[in-house]
Structure 1
Amino acid sequence: MTRLDVIGNVSRDVTRYPDHRGGTHLGGAALFVALAAARAGHVATPVCVLGRDLAHLPETREFDGLDWSGHEAAEGPSTAFDLRYDRHGELISVHTDYGAAERLTDHALAHVDQHPGDTYHVCCRRPLDAATVLDRLAEHGATFSIDFFLPSAKNMIRAVGPWLDRASTVFVNAAEHRLLQAVTDMAVLPEVVVTDGPRPAQVWALGRQVASVVPPPQSPIEVSGAGDTLAGTFLAHRSQGATPAQALAEAVEAAAHFVTTPPLRIPAQRRI
């Protein structure tokens, strides 16, 4: 099994809900995808740029299961997201300060050149130049999967269009799925995982539905990161030989557990 290198952000997140849930906690797709994959038995590294405020994460006990060799430390603050959700858990607005992640594209390209034989998951969201990174991965013949973030999905899906059929798996939510269908022939995509909140999650292979799983009913505490958790779990189980249906069942269960668990706190920095 090759290592899963997850290219994306690790961030400080503030989430806000109408019922006063939410707060400040750790976030970022690179963290959640890699952590879910590691918990499912896959060696995983976040390929990210950490600012001073999160530079201590690789030293904290909570994340011992991750391979942190893919991160880079930088001066200045880490990426920060302010995410507002409606009562159904749908994202309605986001404010972002990219901070140290402005260096992510250069860091990711250097990492890919040093580790062309790894398996990659690319979180196609700003400020990453996803098209350039995917082109480099394709040049190396690397195996990669991709996902999107709804606020930037329309532009990102169009930008990475030439590489969509090269991806082993494309992860989208229902709204992103409609955007994907508008720009590409679904019959050429090897595997697409579609999530839709409490409605059935599906796997499509070359335009044909091959799996569907209904999430268990739950009262969510935090939804930010659930899709990333599903993606990391799915990729780990597929890499271990699970069928799409088996991997989807495990991934849906992991995501359901995630949303009913308190969010990851930002650990205190060690005092010297």
Structure 2
Amino acid sequence: MERLDVIGNISRDRTHYPDHRGGARLGGAALLLSMAAAKAGRPAAPVCVLGSDLAHLPEAPGLDVIDWSARIQADGTSTTFDLEYDLQGELVAVRTDYGVAEGVTGHALRHVDLHPRGTYHVCCRRPLDVEAVLGRLAGNGADFSVDFFLPSAEAMIRASAHWLPKATTVFVNAAEYQLVERVVDTSTLPEVIVTDGPRAAVVRHFGRQGASAVPPPYLPREVTGAGDTLAGTFLAHRSQGATTVQALAEATAAAARYVAAPSLPIPAPRRA
């Protein structure tokens, strides 16, 4: 089966909730989406830049489910996110230090040049130059899907608007879909997955709703990464021949299980 190459960040996250949930965890869309895809049966590789502090991840227990051959290491610290949520799981504040991920655009473009006919998912988040990366993928005629992160979504959606009709699938939440509608004729988009927290997720093909699925009612512990899990699971099942209805049901169920499970810990480096 063809590998899914996921362009994005891997990060050290700290989350905060008013009821004292949260804490330090391993995160980043490139990691979480790749892991979800791999667990659902599709080989996946994060195209990312790891700092010295996370250089040991490829050897960490439980993380060998993904293909690490597309990552590079750079001297310095990896991306860090400090994320504050309300009790409903809505993000209210985010503080970021991109660290070595400032080099992700150059790395991604070099990787795409080496693998021009690969299949890609692009996590459209800062500091990635999405215009350059999506332009290169579209120019190569590569299959690619995209998603966004609400704090930077307006700028990223505007930057990627020209290329969105060429994407196989666009993943957005309900608020991001409204931003897409402002800059793109949604009837030109082949497939859009719109999530809405615990409410029904829907699939729209060229502007028309084609499927919906309500996530199972799990009590959430941690919502960061739910969208990445849904996207990776959906793409994996579709690549294995599942219908849109089947893939969406599997994806919403995986996302619901993810938010109810313990967070992914930051593994300690192995001692020499």
User: Match of 1:70, SS?
Assistant: coil
Give CA-to-partner distance per residue, 1:206-256, whole Å, 9 cap, x none: 111000001121211110000000000000011111111110000000000
AA aligned to 1:117 is: R
Equivalent residue number for residue 87 of structure 1: 87
Structure-1-length-normalised TM-score: 0.99
How many angstroms apart in 2 are the aligned matches of 1:216 and 1:179?
Answer: 27
Please give the residue correspondences for 1:80-159 in structure 2 after superposition, counting only pairs within 5 Å. Answer: 80-159=80-159
Equivalent residue number for residue 225 of structure 2: 225
How many angstroms apart in 1 are the aligned matches of 2:198 and 2:61?
Answer: 33
Equivalent residue number for residue 268 of structure 1: 268
Equivalent residue number for residue 10 of structure 2: 10
Equivalent residue number for residue 196 of structure 1: 196
How many angstroms apart in 2 are the aligned matches of 1:262 and 1:185?
Answer: 40
Percent of matched pairs sharing the same residue: 67
Give CA-to-partner distance per residue, 1:19-61, whole Å, 9 cap, x none: 0000001000000100000000001000000001101000112
Q: Which 5+ residue runs of structure 1 have no aligned equivalent?
A: none
Shift of 1:65: 1.1
Equivalent residue number for residue 163 of structure 1: 163
How many angstroms apart in 2 are the aligned matches of 1:236 and 1:8?
Answer: 18
Equivalent residue number for residue 175 of structure 2: 175
Equivalent residue number for residue 240 of structure 2: 240
Give CA-to-partner distance per residue, 1:53-103, whole Å, 9 cap, x none: 101000112111100001000100000000000000000010000001000
User: Match of 2:266, SS?
Assistant: coil
Please give the residue correspondences for 1:201-216 in structure 2 after superposition, counting only pairs within 5 Å. Answer: 201-216=201-216
How many angstroms apart in 1 are the aligned matches of 2:44 and 2:216?
Answer: 27
How many angstroms apart in 2 are the aligned matches of 1:54 and 1:200?
Answer: 36
How many angstroms apart in 1 are the aligned matches of 2:25 and 2:97?
Answer: 15
Tell me whether 1:50 sits opposite 2:50 in the alignment: yes
How many angstroms apart in 2 are the aligned matches of 1:121 and 1:168?
Answer: 10
AA aligned to 1:201 is: A
Equivalent residue number for residue 77 of structure 1: 77
Question: What is the RMSD computed on CA atoms of the aligned residues?
Answer: 0.6
Q: Which 5+ residue runs of structure 2 have no aligned equivalent?
A: none
How many angstroms apart in 1 are the aligned matches of 2:167 and 2:216?
Answer: 29
How many angstroms apart in 2 are the aligned matches of 1:203 and 1:80?
Answer: 32
Structure-2-length-normalised TM-score: 0.99
How many angstroms apart in 1 are the aligned matches of 2:38 and 2:155?
Answer: 30
How many angstroms apart in 2 are the aligned matches of 1:20 and 1:212?
Answer: 33
How many angstroms apart in 1 are the aligned matches of 2:2 and 2:161?
Answer: 26
How many angstroms apart in 2 are the aligned matches of 1:61 and 1:18?
Answer: 32
How many angstroms apart in 2 are the aligned matches of 1:258 and 1:13?
Answer: 16
Shift of 1:115: 1.1
AA aligned to 1:85 is: Y
AA aligned to 1:130 is: V
Give CA-to-partner distance per residue, 1:112-145, whole Å, 9 cap, x none: 0111121000000000001100011111110000
How many angstroms apart in 2 are the aligned matches of 1:21 and 1:70?
Answer: 34
Higher mean displacement: 77-86 or 214-223 = 214-223
AA aligned to 2:80 is: A
Equivalent residue number for residue 62 of structure 1: 62
AA aligned to 1:250 is: E
AA aligned to 2:251 is: A
Aligned length: 272
User: Match of 2:227, SS?
Assistant: helix
